[in-house]
Structure 1
Amino acid sequence: MTSVLHHHLYTGFLFTYSDFKTIFFPITIFAAVAAPVHSKSQLFLAIVWIWLHLLQCNVSNQYKSCEEDKINKPWRPLPSQRVTFIQAQKLRWALVALCLTYSLSFGVDVALVSVVLTLTMIVYDEVGLAGHWAGKNICAVYGYGTFEIGATKIMGYTSDLDKTAQMSVVLSAMIVLTTIHVQDFPDVDGDLALGRRTIPITFPQASRILTPLIMIGWTAILNNAWMLGPTISTLMYVLGGVVAARIWGNRTTSGDRRTYLYYNVWLFCAHLLPANARFGGLSW
């Protein structure tokens, strides 16, 4: 029994592993700051909510992109034959019911957030918006936004979002809309094999020029919006500058993969910045 449980838990971990750095940790930190977190128990319940919905999203995406994963991420459960396609398909729809049921325990508003996230996954994977850069980026905004709103509602003293929380969600959504394609630079080969039209494929030169400028621009906006001090502002500019320079100058697959890692560090820090409006401490 223990070995079977371990097998299933590890399979779930493998489904979600790639997005711990892109969704799980940034969303958890974001909600803890934006809410702000009301208690340890609420924090734990929100973490479970985030992971279950992340699992739903990942299973939905991965059973539709197994051929790509054979090229880019062969260790995932489907290409490594840890689970079959039919098993993943059944799990994908079972998770819809599980996530909705769990969300209902926090109220109708959180359940509606879960429904929106599920619908976003359906149009992304089932309808096929994942194949075009515009649809992919718009779905990413809805995906990140619903994760952030749902987790913030669960963590907070009340499910209502105040002005700081609302501003945090809007800024985060705009950042995702305009920069999330950084994740597509190292996956060009796999995306080409599937006939996808991501931003790095559709605009190979322009994306290498404009994305660095957007990174620096958002760093400036965040520094001003959250009234950061000179030391923290400088650190954010250094992080944003590193990502920008690497996007322009380091164009190998391994280099783009490392750049995406640095981008996630920058994004993680960006999600921490509303703490200055909540608690202060970042004005030095």
Structure 2
Amino acid sequence: MVHCRDIAVAVRTFVGHHAKTAVLFTHSDIKTILFPVTTFACAVAPLHAARRLLFGMVWVWSHQLMCNVSNQANSRNEDMVNKPWRPLPSGRISERQARALRWIVVGVCLLLSGTLGRGVVLMTLGLFVTTFLYDEVGLSGHHVSKNLCAIGGYTTIEMGATKLIGEAPELDAVAMAAVYLSGAIIFTTIHAQDFADVEGDVALGRVTLPIYAPDLARTFTVVILIAWSLGLSAFWNIGPICRALFVVLGGTVGARYYLLRDPKADRRSYVLYNVWLTVAHLLPLNARAEILSF
């Protein structure tokens, strides 16, 4: 006879296994997507209630999962080199199962957005189209088209999160300026994630900026991070102390990429890049509350 305790243990094991698989799919991009996008939405909306923050984070994470499953279902060979702990190379899930899961997650995201309003559904559809072009059409294979897809992905998920976290269903001028600037930042700096993944990208036949022009890519990273730090500080009119700290942060991250060139150092530099990106996404708050004017 099967006891209730045995059933409970089996259910916990089943749920725990699949929950861990979902977390492993999204683990690498929590610092790249979940934290910066949530910070962006809280700053731009701005945040009005803890309940909205929870809704926003769940929505962002579920859409991040949609992108991650789609991307990783098509990049097992790369992940075997760069991230062997991910669900496919580690054997937690097969490619066939991952492709099926990809469409299940799309459906779940559409259902979730459907309960939150038409504008949010449009953001989900926009993210799905961008992800499809990136993974299925093959736009991830070249650094220019890859960065263009990154713009589409980031801006749609940022607008969706901002709609959920804020009170207004439509984005005002401050929010739209923040979205446009975010897209430009992503287009010109997202190659920072590719330095540590050169070996895997080569194995997959991708042409990223660090592969196409390795020395130029590192020099450009220093220049563009300092330039954005200065430009964003001026645009959002933050104060001299905050401006100095932000520029120093950008310069430090850029200098690390230029001076420290092994994969381990590049992975650490990428963590710091995401700190810089999160701070950059926080700056629009100064247009709402002027709390960064010192």
User: Could you tell me how far 1:6 is from its partner in structure 2?
Assistant: 1.2
Partner SS for 1:197: coil
Residue of structure 2 aligned with 1:51, choices 36, 45, 61: 61
Partner SS for 2:81: helix
Q: Which residue of 1 aligns with 2:289?
A: 279
| 1:86 counterpart = 2:86 | no
| 1:67 counterpart = 2:77 | yes
Residue of structure 1 aligned with 2:253, choices 230, 233, 243: 243
Distance 2:221 2:230 in 1: 14
Residue of structure 1 aligned with 2:216, choices 187, 196, 206: 206
Query: What number of residue pairs does the alignment pair up?
Result: 284
Distance 1:69 1:47 in 2: 26
Within a 5 Å distance, the mapping from 1:51-200 to structure 2 comes to 51-200=61-210
Using the size of structure 2 for normalisation, the TM-score is 0.95
- State which drifts further: 64-73 or 253-262: 253-262
Residue of structure 2 aligned with 1:262, choices 238, 257, 272: 272
Distance 1:267 1:273 in 2: 10
Q: Which residue of 1 aligns with 2:30?
A: 20
- State which drifts further: 32-41 or 139-148: 32-41
Amino acid at match of 1:126: E
Partner SS for 1:205: helix
Q: Which residue of 1 aligns with 2:7?
A: none
Alpha-carbon RMSD: 0.9
User: Could you tell me how far 1:12 is from its partner in structure 2?
Assistant: 0.7
Partner SS for 1:145: helix
Distance 2:145 2:18 in 1: 32
Amino acid at match of 2:287: A
Q: Which residue of 2 aligns with 1:42?
A: 52
Question: Bigger radius of gyration, 1 or 2?
Answer: 2
Partner SS for 1:261: helix
Distance 1:269 1:86 in 2: 39
User: 1:237-282 CA distances to partner (integer Å, 9 max, x unpaired)?
Assistant: 1110111111211111111111111111100111111111112221
Amino acid at match of 2:185: I
Using the size of structure 1 for normalisation, the TM-score is 0.98
Amino acid at match of 1:34: V
Q: What is the percent sequence identity of the aligned residues?
A: 50
Amino acid at match of 1:235: L
Distance 1:104 1:18 in 2: 28
User: Could you tell me how far 1:38 is from its partner in structure 2?
Assistant: 2.6
Distance 1:172 1:4 in 2: 39
User: 1:53-88 CA distances to partner (integer Å, 9 max, x unpaired)?
Assistant: 000100000010011000000000110001111111
| 1:31 counterpart = 2:41 | yes
Which blocks of at least 5 consecutive residues in structure 1 are unaligned? none
Amino acid at match of 1:199: L
Distance 1:47 1:209 in 2: 35
Q: Which residue of 2 aligns with 1:7?
A: 17
Distance 1:178 1:35 in 2: 24
User: Could you tell me how far 1:178 is from its partner in structure 2?
Assistant: 0.2
Amino acid at match of 2:265: G
Amino acid at match of 2:206: R
Runs of 4+ in structure 1 off by over 3 angstroms are none
Which blocks of at least 5 consecutive residues in structure 2 are unaligned? 1-10
